Structure 1
Amino acid sequence: MRVFVMNLRGKPIGTCSPRKARMLQEQKKVKVIKRNPFTIQLLYATGETTQETNLGIDLGAKHIGIAITTGEKVLGKAEIELRQDVKGNLETKKIYRRSRRNRKTRYRRSKFKYKTKCVYVEGKGKKKGGYRKISVSFTSNRPKGWSPPSIQSRIDNTFRWIDTFYSLLPNCKLHIEVGKFDVQKMMNPDIQGKEYQEGDTFGYHDVRYFVFARDHYTCQVCKKKGGILQTHHIMYRSHGGSNAASNLITVCTNCHTYENHQEGNILWKWMVEKKKTKRYKEGPFMNIFRRRVFDKYPEAHITYGSITTPKRKELQLEKTHYNDAIATTGIAAIKENTDHVLYIKQFRKKKRSLHEATARKGRKEKNTTSKRNEKNTKSVGSWHLNDKVRVFGKFGWITGFSGQSCYVKNIQDEYVTIPGKSYKQVNLSSLEFICHNNNWQFSIL
């Protein structure tokens, strides 16, 4: 991984090799302003000449591939792993809090803003006609642009790293792969610009008229034109179907009858014989993420996996997230490629739960003063969670404590153990301290 260089005014001017950065540091001509990714700033004036660079991003729900290229050279590669446990932790927290409310113990009140509305329901009461008045509470609508915390966390951290690398490169062009296929282009090869935001039904009075026009005003059962047409649900709404155009077909009134819906009749037979065509769909996260990317980076060059995969194969690169990012930049040939990859992994450093699932009934100590579980220990002496250490000739990070011992894992989430032993605990006295970390782990492999 090359070193990022800033000029005397703090503006990016390019990259240099680690050897050159080390020589400049020994001559006291530079200062280190960031260690991850490693960035130096010159202490003397230089020219303003910069080279054009390309930053390729391969987006994903769990892994993000990053590549930096210029000309026919690959200057740097990185792979970022995001947290996947946010949703599970929130579900656990909800269960704990609900349990405490039901037990009528000390708890944090719900944050929802409740509103009250009076309604009348059937039953005995003071009102005439057999109706009684009750109050119903309901929550206010979520704010515009709201996303579930698990998705919002991944979006925010992805944008953070894109902005970080983009700010370290001079004269940079951004290339982002946002999915496997451009589904709208598959349906309309000439689509471009704002047409992506208009959708299939743009210009039609409603979905019903769009379905008629798509089916050329022809009954899809008897294949006759003319007459009175209606829309029919391929999958009934009672079975989970929707009112989307993809779930509707055009049927004439002669075919769209109650009798034909019954088993053994013409419409029922057509439904059995004509299987619904499967449509390609991305995951919910990528569908939300793609829209956010379009709004956040309007100047970026957007591409899809169906385009970058053939390019990656032409470059004779194996399937990895950072190699996909290299192909995303549009590089024609590779004459120089770095062997080192910067791996970045998100780490949950603190457990902030105030209570555990098991109620402390029958214990002498109060819940507020009782000893916490050892797994929730944040530090022991001068050692803290997520400290980078060297043990038995290997690098790793402290992931938990157990008395005067700890657990150490490497960047691949594997335990670093004593050679020849199977147990996972490592004594604190055998650790060599490297540095403190926040909730990110960095390793160059």
Structure 2
Amino acid sequence: MVFVLDTNKRPLAPCHEAVARKLLKQGKAAIYKRFPFTIILKKAVDASETKTEYRLKVDYGSRHTGLAIVRGKEVLWLAQLDHRTDIKERLDKRRAFRRSRRNRKMRYRKARFLNRKRKEGWLPSSLASRVQNIQTWVNRLKKVCPIEHVSYESAKFDTQLMRNPEISGVEYQQGTLQGYEVREYLLEKFGRKCCYCGKEHVPLEVEHIIPKSRGGTDRVDNLCLACHDCNQKKGNQTAEEFGYPHIQKQVKEPLKDVAIVNTTRWKVYEVLKQSGLVVECGTGARTKMNRIRLGLPKTYYFDACCVGESTPNHLHFKTKEVLFIKAKGRGSRSRTNLDKYGFPRGYLARQKFFFGFQTGDMVKAAVPKGKYKGVWFGEVACRKSGSFDIKGRDGKRIAQGINYKYIRLIQRLDGYTYRKEGMKLA
């Protein structure tokens, strides 16, 4: 199905791709946007004739979010939105570079960690990014489809029950460290000796089984006791890499993704309410029940079709493709490339556009001669000289040194990358 706008950019009922092809061929419409594919008519149409109820369904997850547009029993559009997972790592890296630079240049600078004030409802950048991704796509889809309702899966996870399926009653208030300090708990757990070399009667240090730099946490089941020599020798290795797999097995699977959803689920709900749509909330259990009843496989976009009480007894798929949307950002404010020590190794151009293009734009290059003769589709990497590179889906260069005169713009960089795949029902 293809989204349709009239000449005043008001959303109309989506049409079949054959109808859209006919309108484009007859010159009655033009391509408005490639992703999601939208055409715009060259004349005004009475939009009040659209009486069918269009519903956007959202299955929110920490890494991926499923999106579906449903009209009654018909599924018109499916998508999977992949959130960014590199934000915290990039912020940590930037902070380390800045700290190193300040120590080199301003050795006796006064500490400034107490003069920051966070607004009420503040979220870390890595979490706010997920909320903003959903907000962006709800607003974009409202502009190309006459959506009036939204169904949202507001899932809540019981982290203690996930760790201990038999927990009940007052045990919820009695955590692992009830009656202990962390160090006393570890001393008793590991028999007051180094868990690696077995030394006793030596100073012991609290050590991370999976280092924090490798994704480990400060949770007590990721902590152990080690003597100073073993702690230094282990360095950035995990316990398994250090030669102690039996200690590694004591670490339970981290629940970072669960914590992300529990932290942001009501923020996403507020964003949906602010969009002006009628919001219906559903639980994860209802989504699973609907998916099993409809016989659909476990994917994010099929889960989105099954969110909420409004899910019909049968679904008819009017689309055979799924749009995979990956958040990538709009580049970096930094104009200096750094080496691994934080020292400058090169500088980027101060301008953004080169010959009408910017790095990240989706383009079509028709090269008439030379090594890269042919037609190339992908993202453009710009240079001042006007000799551009074309990158494929995997980010690798598929054509280099293409003159800007042979390149035609398909869609401007909007902070996301796109790819289409066929829908898999089995």
For normalisation by structure 2, the TM-score amounts to 0.62
d(CA) in 2 for partners of 1:399 and 1:304?
44
What is the distance in 1 between the residues matched to 2:331 and 2:302? 33
Cα offset, 1:23, TM superposition: 2.6
CA distance in 2, matches of 1:405, 1:297: 40
C-alpha separation between the residues in 2 aligned to 1:373 and 1:85? 22
In 2 relative to 1, CA 103–22 (structure 1 residues): closer, same or farther, beyond 3 Å? same
2:118 match: 142
Q: Which residue of 1 aligns with 2:264?
A: 289
Which stretch shows the higher mean deviation, 348-357 or 376-385?
376-385
Can you list the C-alpha shifts for 1:3-60, whole angstroms capped at 9, x where unaligned? 2234566443311112222333444444554443233444134352421122111112
Aligned to 1:66: 67
- Whether contact under 8 Å (2:376, 2:390) holds in the other structure is no
How far, CA to CA, are the matches of 1:378 and 1:433 in structure 2? 18
Which of residues 309, 314, 322 is equivalent to 2:301? 322
Corresponding residue of 1:345: 326
Name the residue aligned to 2:103. 102
Amino acid at match of 1:239: V
Within-5 A mapping of 1:187-266: 235=177, 236=179, 238-239=181-182
- The reply to whether residue 396 of structure 1 matches residue 378 of structure 2 is yes
Q: C-alpha separation between the residues in 2 aligned to 1:372 and 1:89?
A: 19
Gaps of at least 5 residues in structure 2 are 162-168, 185-252, 366-373, 422-426
**Which of these residues, 114, 126, 133, is aligned with residue 157 of structure 1?**
133
Alpha-carbon spacing, 1:26–1:349, altered in 2? closer, same or farther (3 Å): same
Distance 1:56 1:287 in 2: 19
The answer for the alignment partner of 1:44 in structure 2 is 44
The letter for the 2-side match of 1:174 is V
C-alpha distance in structure 1 between counterparts of 2:49 and 2:88, whole Å: 47
Assess, with a 3 A threshold, how the Cα gap between structure 1 residues 394 and 64 changes in structure 2: closer, same or farther: farther
Contact 1:6 1:12 in 2 (8 A): yes
Deviations 1:277-321 (A, max 9, x none): x9x996222112211123233441112332212322332322221
1:268: which partner in 2? none
Q: Deviation string for 1:94-146 (max 9, x for gaps)?
A: 1111111111179xx99x9x5xxxxxxxxxxxxxxxxxxxxxx7334322111
Quick one: structure 1 residues 355 and 6, their matched pair in 2 at CA, closer, same or farther if it must change by over 3 Å?
closer
Cα deviation 1:250-291 (Å, max 9, x = unaligned): xxxxxxxxxxxxxxxxxxxxxxxxxxxx9x996222112211
Which amino acid in 1 is paired with 2:181? Answer: S
Separation in structure 2 between the aligned mates of residue 41 and residue 400 of structure 1, nearest angstrom: 30
Q: 2-side partners of 1:8 and 1:405: how far apart?
A: 35
Counterpart code for 1:13: L
Q: Distance in 1 between matches of 2:174 and 2:325?
A: 51
**Hey, what's the Cα distance between the residues in 2 that align with 1:234 and 1:444?**
47
Q: Quote the Cα distance in structure 1 between the aligned partners of 2:285 and 2:183.
A: 31
1:3 aligns with 2:12: no
Query: Where in structure 2 are the equivalents of 1:428-439 lying within 5 Å?
Result: 428=402, 433-438=408-413, 439=415
Consecutive unaligned residues of structure 1, counting only runs of 5 or more, are: 115-136, 187-213, 221-230, 242-277, 362-366, 418-424
Question: Take 1:10 and 1:167, find their aligned partners in 2: how far apart are those partners?
Answer: 8
One-letter identity of the residue aligned with 2:279: A
Report the secondary structure of 1:285's partner residue. helix
Code of the aligned partner of 1:386: G
2:116 pairs with 1:173: no
Q: How many residues align?
A: 325
Q: Which residue identity lines up with residue 93 of structure 1 in the other structure?
A: R
Structure 2 distance, partners of 1:316, 1:377, is: 53
Whether the 8 Å contact between 1:53 and 1:171 is mirrored in structure 2 is: yes
Distance (whole Å) between structure 2 residues aligned to residue 289 and residue 346 of structure 1? 18
Aligned to 2:187: none
| Structure 1: distance between partners of 2:29 and 2:382 | 38
SS at match of 1:84: coil
Contact 1:50 1:171 in 2 (8 A): no
Q: How does 1:387-426 map to 2 (within 5 A)?
A: 387-389=361-363, 395-398=377-380, 406=389, 408-410=391-393, 413=394, 415=396, 426=400
In the superposition, relative to structure 1, how do residues 83 and 171 fare at CA in structure 2: closer, same or farther (>3 Å)? closer
Rate the CA distance shift 1:90–1:400 in 2: closer, same or farther, 3 A: farther
Distance 2:93 2:342 in 1: 18
**Distance of 1:172 and 1:93 partners within structure 2:** 42
Preserved CA contact (<8 Å) 2:12 2:50: yes
RMSD: 4.4
From the CA coordinates, give the structure whose radius of gyration is larger.
1
What TM-score, normalized by structure 1, do the two folds share?
A: 0.59
Equivalents in 2 of 1:360, 1:314: separation in Å? Answer: 55
1:408 corresponds to which letter in structure 2? K
Percentage of pairs with the same residue: 26
Question: What is the aligned partner in structure 2 of residue 260 from structure 1?
Answer: none
